[in-house]
Amino acid sequence: MNDHSQHAGDTPLYPIREVSRITGVNSVTLRAWERRYGLIKPQRTPKGHRLYAREDIERVEQILQWLNRGVPVSQVLELLDRPEASEAPPADASDWPGQRAQLVTAAEALDMTRLETLYAQSLSLYPVPVCIAELWAPVVQELEERWGERLGDTLQRLSLEAFLRTRIGTRLFHANGRASGPVLLMVSLPDDPGTLWRLLAALAASDRGYRVEMLDTPLPFGELPLAVEALGAGGVLMAGSHAGRSDLIRRQLPRLAEQLEVPLALCGPVARIREADLADSDVAALGDDLGQAMVTLADLLPPTPLPPAK
Protein backbone atom coordinates (compact mmCIF):
# COMPACT_ATOMS: atom_id res chain seq x y z
CA MET A 1 0.00 0.00 0.00
CA ASN A 2 1.33 3.47 -0.89
CA ASP A 3 1.95 6.04 1.84
CA HIS A 4 -1.36 7.58 0.89
CA SER A 5 -4.11 6.63 -1.53
CA GLN A 6 -6.93 8.53 -3.13
CA HIS A 7 -10.52 8.53 -1.99
CA ALA A 8 -13.39 8.60 -4.48
CA GLY A 9 -13.57 12.39 -4.02
CA ASP A 10 -9.82 12.75 -4.64
CA THR A 11 -9.22 13.20 -0.91
CA PRO A 12 -5.91 11.59 0.11
CA LEU A 13 -6.20 8.75 2.59
CA TYR A 14 -3.30 7.67 4.79
CA PRO A 15 -2.50 4.22 6.27
CA ILE A 16 -2.02 3.97 10.02
CA ARG A 17 1.79 3.81 9.78
CA GLU A 18 1.83 7.18 7.99
CA VAL A 19 -0.54 8.75 10.51
CA SER A 20 1.74 7.49 13.27
CA ARG A 21 4.74 9.08 11.55
CA ILE A 22 2.96 12.41 11.04
CA THR A 23 1.45 12.73 14.52
CA GLY A 24 3.95 10.83 16.67
CA VAL A 25 1.15 8.68 18.12
CA ASN A 26 1.91 4.97 17.83
CA SER A 27 -0.51 2.59 16.15
CA VAL A 28 -1.48 0.83 19.40
CA THR A 29 -2.66 4.11 20.89
CA LEU A 30 -4.51 5.11 17.71
CA ARG A 31 -6.39 1.82 17.77
CA ALA A 32 -7.20 2.22 21.48
CA TRP A 33 -8.58 5.71 20.90
CA GLU A 34 -10.80 4.30 18.17
CA ARG A 35 -12.01 1.11 19.85
CA ARG A 36 -12.34 2.19 23.49
CA TYR A 37 -13.34 5.84 23.17
CA GLY A 38 -14.57 6.43 19.61
CA LEU A 39 -12.27 9.44 19.26
CA ILE A 40 -11.44 8.74 15.62
CA LYS A 41 -13.29 6.78 12.96
CA PRO A 42 -11.02 5.85 10.05
CA GLN A 43 -12.31 4.33 6.86
CA ARG A 44 -11.53 0.71 5.99
CA THR A 45 -10.30 -1.00 2.87
CA PRO A 46 -12.08 -4.18 1.70
CA LYS A 47 -9.37 -6.11 3.57
CA GLY A 48 -9.99 -4.18 6.77
CA HIS A 49 -6.96 -1.88 6.74
CA ARG A 50 -7.50 1.53 8.31
CA LEU A 51 -7.32 4.64 6.14
CA TYR A 52 -7.29 8.14 7.61
CA ALA A 53 -8.34 11.37 5.92
CA ARG A 54 -6.62 14.70 6.56
CA GLU A 55 -9.53 15.56 8.88
CA ASP A 56 -8.72 12.48 10.97
CA ILE A 57 -5.11 13.59 11.30
CA GLU A 58 -6.23 17.05 12.40
CA ARG A 59 -8.52 15.41 14.94
CA VAL A 60 -5.59 13.37 16.32
CA GLU A 61 -3.64 16.61 16.72
CA GLN A 62 -6.61 18.15 18.57
CA ILE A 63 -6.71 15.11 20.87
CA LEU A 64 -3.04 15.60 21.64
CA GLN A 65 -3.64 19.25 22.50
CA TRP A 66 -6.30 18.33 25.05
CA LEU A 67 -4.18 15.53 26.54
CA ASN A 68 -1.21 17.87 26.88
CA ARG A 69 -3.47 20.25 28.83
CA GLY A 70 -4.22 17.50 31.31
CA VAL A 71 -7.67 16.39 30.13
CA PRO A 72 -8.19 12.62 30.66
CA VAL A 73 -8.72 10.65 27.48
CA SER A 74 -12.19 9.61 28.67
CA GLN A 75 -13.33 13.25 28.54
CA VAL A 76 -11.79 14.28 25.23
CA LEU A 77 -14.66 13.11 23.00
CA GLU A 78 -17.13 15.49 24.63
CA LEU A 79 -14.76 18.41 24.12
CA LEU A 80 -14.04 17.51 20.50
CA ASP A 81 -17.73 17.32 19.64
CA ARG A 82 -18.64 20.63 21.29
CA PRO A 83 -17.88 23.58 19.00
CA GLU A 84 -18.35 25.93 21.93
CA ALA A 85 -15.78 24.07 24.07
CA SER A 86 -13.54 26.37 26.05
CA GLU A 87 -9.94 26.80 24.98
CA ALA A 88 -8.85 25.69 28.46
CA PRO A 89 -10.03 22.57 30.30
CA PRO A 90 -11.95 22.85 33.57
CA ALA A 91 -9.71 23.20 36.60
CA ASP A 92 -10.59 19.72 37.86
CA ALA A 93 -10.50 17.99 34.47
CA SER A 94 -7.08 16.40 34.78
CA ASP A 95 -6.83 12.86 36.10
CA TRP A 96 -3.02 12.90 36.25
CA PRO A 97 -2.80 13.64 40.00
CA GLY A 98 -5.04 10.66 40.68
CA GLN A 99 -3.02 8.39 38.41
CA ARG A 100 0.23 9.56 40.00
CA ALA A 101 -1.16 8.85 43.47
CA GLN A 102 -2.19 5.34 42.40
CA LEU A 103 1.24 4.68 40.94
CA VAL A 104 3.07 5.90 44.06
CA THR A 105 0.82 3.78 46.27
CA ALA A 106 1.40 0.68 44.13
CA ALA A 107 5.19 1.20 44.12
CA GLU A 108 5.35 1.66 47.88
CA ALA A 109 3.11 -1.36 48.49
CA LEU A 110 5.16 -3.50 46.07
CA ASP A 111 1.91 -4.24 44.24
CA MET A 112 3.32 -5.57 40.98
CA THR A 113 -0.09 -6.48 39.60
CA ARG A 114 -1.33 -2.92 40.00
CA LEU A 115 1.92 -1.55 38.59
CA GLU A 116 1.48 -3.74 35.53
CA THR A 117 -2.06 -2.47 35.00
CA LEU A 118 -1.06 1.18 35.36
CA TYR A 119 1.99 0.78 33.13
CA ALA A 120 0.09 -0.97 30.33
CA GLN A 121 -2.86 1.39 30.58
CA SER A 122 -0.77 4.55 30.43
CA LEU A 123 1.26 3.51 27.40
CA SER A 124 -1.75 2.20 25.49
CA LEU A 125 -3.83 5.37 25.93
CA TYR A 126 -1.24 8.15 25.84
CA PRO A 127 1.79 8.95 23.69
CA VAL A 128 5.10 8.14 25.36
CA PRO A 129 6.17 11.80 25.86
CA VAL A 130 2.87 12.56 27.64
CA CYS A 131 3.17 9.44 29.81
CA ILE A 132 6.67 10.33 30.90
CA ALA A 133 6.02 14.04 31.48
CA GLU A 134 2.70 13.70 33.28
CA LEU A 135 2.99 10.37 35.05
CA TRP A 136 6.27 8.49 35.26
CA ALA A 137 8.84 11.28 35.69
CA PRO A 138 6.84 13.07 38.42
CA VAL A 139 6.30 9.77 40.24
CA VAL A 140 10.00 8.87 40.08
CA GLN A 141 10.88 12.32 41.36
CA GLU A 142 8.36 12.06 44.22
CA LEU A 143 9.53 8.58 45.22
CA GLU A 144 13.20 9.56 45.14
CA GLU A 145 12.42 12.50 47.43
CA ARG A 146 10.68 10.11 49.85
CA TRP A 147 13.30 7.40 49.78
CA GLY A 148 15.97 7.86 52.39
CA GLU A 149 17.06 5.68 55.28
CA ARG A 150 13.68 4.19 56.15
CA LEU A 151 13.38 0.44 56.37
CA GLY A 152 11.96 -0.78 53.07
CA ASP A 153 13.04 2.18 50.92
CA THR A 154 15.78 0.23 49.15
CA LEU A 155 13.40 -2.65 48.51
CA GLN A 156 10.85 -0.29 46.96
CA ARG A 157 13.44 1.29 44.68
CA LEU A 158 14.97 -2.00 43.55
CA SER A 159 11.53 -3.51 42.93
CA LEU A 160 10.43 -0.58 40.77
CA GLU A 161 13.74 -0.64 38.91
CA ALA A 162 13.38 -4.37 38.21
CA PHE A 163 9.79 -3.88 37.06
CA LEU A 164 10.63 -1.08 34.63
CA ARG A 165 13.84 -2.72 33.44
CA THR A 166 11.88 -5.78 32.32
CA ARG A 167 9.01 -3.88 30.68
CA ILE A 168 11.06 -1.17 29.05
CA GLY A 169 13.76 -3.67 28.07
CA THR A 170 11.18 -5.76 26.24
CA ARG A 171 9.86 -2.66 24.51
CA LEU A 172 13.36 -1.66 23.44
CA PHE A 173 14.07 -5.13 22.07
CA HIS A 174 11.10 -4.97 19.71
CA ALA A 175 11.55 -1.27 18.85
CA ASN A 176 15.24 -1.67 17.98
CA GLY A 177 14.33 -4.21 15.32
CA ARG A 178 12.40 -1.61 13.33
CA ALA A 179 14.17 1.60 14.36
CA SER A 180 15.84 3.54 11.55
CA GLY A 181 17.73 6.06 13.67
CA PRO A 182 21.31 6.02 14.92
CA VAL A 183 22.45 3.85 17.81
CA LEU A 184 22.30 5.65 21.15
CA LEU A 185 24.48 4.17 23.88
CA MET A 186 22.98 4.75 27.33
CA VAL A 187 24.94 4.34 30.54
CA SER A 188 24.61 5.39 34.17
CA LEU A 189 26.93 7.76 35.96
CA PRO A 190 29.38 6.09 38.37
CA ASP A 191 28.05 5.95 41.95
CA ASP A 192 24.51 6.83 40.86
CA PRO A 193 22.14 5.14 43.32
CA GLY A 194 19.52 4.05 40.82
CA THR A 195 18.60 3.50 37.20
CA LEU A 196 15.07 4.90 37.02
CA TRP A 197 15.96 8.07 35.10
CA ARG A 198 18.07 6.08 32.66
CA LEU A 199 15.17 3.72 32.02
CA LEU A 200 12.75 6.59 31.40
CA ALA A 201 15.28 8.29 29.13
CA ALA A 202 15.72 5.04 27.20
CA LEU A 203 11.95 4.82 26.73
CA ALA A 204 11.82 8.41 25.48
CA ALA A 205 14.77 7.90 23.12
CA SER A 206 13.32 4.70 21.69
CA ASP A 207 10.05 6.49 21.02
CA ARG A 208 12.02 9.03 18.97
CA GLY A 209 13.31 6.24 16.74
CA TYR A 210 16.80 5.70 18.15
CA ARG A 211 18.22 2.20 18.45
CA VAL A 212 18.95 2.17 22.16
CA GLU A 213 21.79 0.10 23.59
CA MET A 214 21.49 0.26 27.38
CA LEU A 215 24.17 -0.97 29.79
CA ASP A 216 22.91 -2.03 33.22
CA THR A 217 26.05 -1.04 35.13
CA PRO A 218 28.44 1.91 34.73
CA LEU A 219 31.22 1.30 32.22
CA PRO A 220 34.76 2.52 33.02
CA PHE A 221 35.28 5.76 31.13
CA GLY A 222 38.40 4.34 29.50
CA GLU A 223 36.27 1.71 27.75
CA LEU A 224 33.53 4.02 26.47
CA PRO A 225 35.36 4.94 23.23
CA LEU A 226 35.74 1.21 22.55
CA ALA A 227 32.03 0.64 23.24
CA VAL A 228 31.08 3.46 20.88
CA GLU A 229 33.17 1.95 18.11
CA ALA A 230 32.04 -1.64 18.71
CA LEU A 231 28.34 -0.75 18.81
CA GLY A 232 28.48 1.86 16.06
CA ALA A 233 26.91 4.41 18.39
CA GLY A 234 26.08 7.86 17.09
CA GLY A 235 26.02 9.32 20.59
CA VAL A 236 26.31 8.58 24.30
CA LEU A 237 23.60 9.56 26.77
CA MET A 238 24.19 9.36 30.52
CA ALA A 239 21.51 9.71 33.17
CA GLY A 240 21.75 10.45 36.87
CA SER A 241 19.34 11.00 39.72
CA HIS A 242 21.48 13.14 42.03
CA ALA A 243 24.11 15.88 41.90
CA GLY A 244 27.11 13.59 41.44
CA ARG A 245 30.67 14.15 42.56
CA SER A 246 32.19 17.51 41.73
CA ASP A 247 35.37 16.05 40.24
CA LEU A 248 33.33 13.69 38.08
CA ILE A 249 31.13 16.44 36.67
CA ARG A 250 33.72 19.19 36.34
CA ARG A 251 36.74 17.21 35.20
CA GLN A 252 36.12 13.61 34.21
CA LEU A 253 33.03 14.09 32.04
CA PRO A 254 34.47 17.01 30.03
CA ARG A 255 37.67 15.01 29.52
CA LEU A 256 35.63 12.02 28.33
CA ALA A 257 33.68 14.23 25.91
CA GLU A 258 36.96 15.35 24.34
CA GLN A 259 38.03 11.72 23.85
CA LEU A 260 34.81 10.57 22.21
CA GLU A 261 34.19 11.06 18.50
CA VAL A 262 30.44 11.31 19.07
CA PRO A 263 28.33 13.69 21.19
CA LEU A 264 28.14 13.06 24.95
CA ALA A 265 24.94 14.20 26.67
CA LEU A 266 23.66 14.11 30.23
CA CYS A 267 20.04 14.01 31.40
CA GLY A 268 18.07 13.64 34.61
CA PRO A 269 18.25 15.72 37.81
CA VAL A 270 22.06 15.72 37.63
CA ALA A 271 21.92 17.61 34.32
CA ARG A 272 19.62 20.25 35.82
CA ILE A 273 21.66 20.62 39.00
CA ARG A 274 25.04 20.69 37.27
CA GLU A 275 24.15 22.68 34.17
CA ALA A 276 26.34 25.64 35.15
CA ASP A 277 29.32 23.36 35.84
CA LEU A 278 29.11 21.96 32.31
CA ALA A 279 28.41 25.21 30.49
CA ASP A 280 31.93 25.59 29.04
CA SER A 281 32.47 21.90 28.27
CA ASP A 282 31.59 19.63 25.35
CA VAL A 283 29.06 17.78 27.51
CA ALA A 284 25.47 18.62 26.55
CA ALA A 285 23.41 19.08 29.73
CA LEU A 286 19.84 18.20 28.67
CA GLY A 287 18.03 18.72 31.98
CA ASP A 288 15.40 16.52 33.61
CA ASP A 289 12.54 17.36 31.23
CA LEU A 290 12.98 14.25 29.11
CA GLY A 291 10.67 15.43 26.35
CA GLN A 292 12.70 18.58 25.84
CA ALA A 293 15.89 16.57 26.30
CA MET A 294 14.99 14.42 23.29
CA VAL A 295 14.31 17.53 21.20
CA THR A 296 17.74 18.91 22.09
CA LEU A 297 19.37 15.54 21.49
CA ALA A 298 17.89 15.46 17.99
CA ASP A 299 19.91 18.58 17.17
CA LEU A 300 23.11 16.82 18.24
CA LEU A 301 22.59 13.55 16.38
CA PRO A 302 21.66 12.75 12.75
CA PRO A 303 17.97 13.27 11.85
CA THR A 304 15.81 10.38 13.06
CA PRO A 305 12.40 9.61 11.54
CA LEU A 306 9.75 7.99 13.70
CA PRO A 307 9.69 4.18 13.40
CA PRO A 308 7.02 2.87 11.02
CA ALA A 309 3.87 1.55 12.67
CA LYS A 310 2.67 -1.94 11.92
Q: What is the pLDDT of residues 225-241, one digit of tens each?
A: 999 999 999 999 999 88
Strands 264-267 vs 12-15: parallel, antiparallel or unpaired: unpaired
Which pLDDT score is estimated for 42?
93
How far apart, in whole angstroms, are the C-alpha atoms of residue 185 and residue 264? Answer: 10
Which pLDDT score is estimated for 307?
45
* Burial group, residue 194, by CB count within 10 angstroms (0-12, 13-18, 19+): buried
CATH 1.10.1660.10 location in the chain: 5-80
* Residues in the chain where the model's pLDDT stays below 70: 1-10, 83-94, 193, 302-310
CATH 3.40.50.280 location in the chain: 99-300
Closest CA to 287 of 297, 302, 300, 301: 297
Which pLDDT score is estimated for 66?
85
Topology annotation, domain 99-300 = Rossmann fold (3.40.50)
Which pLDDT score is estimated for 94?
56
Strands 12-15 vs 43-44: parallel, antiparallel or unpaired: unpaired
CATH code assigned to 5-80: 1.10.1660.10
Backbone angles phi and psi of 264, in degrees to 5: -115, 125
16 CA to centre of own chain: 21
Which pLDDT score is estimated for 76?
87
Which pLDDT score is estimated for 261?
92
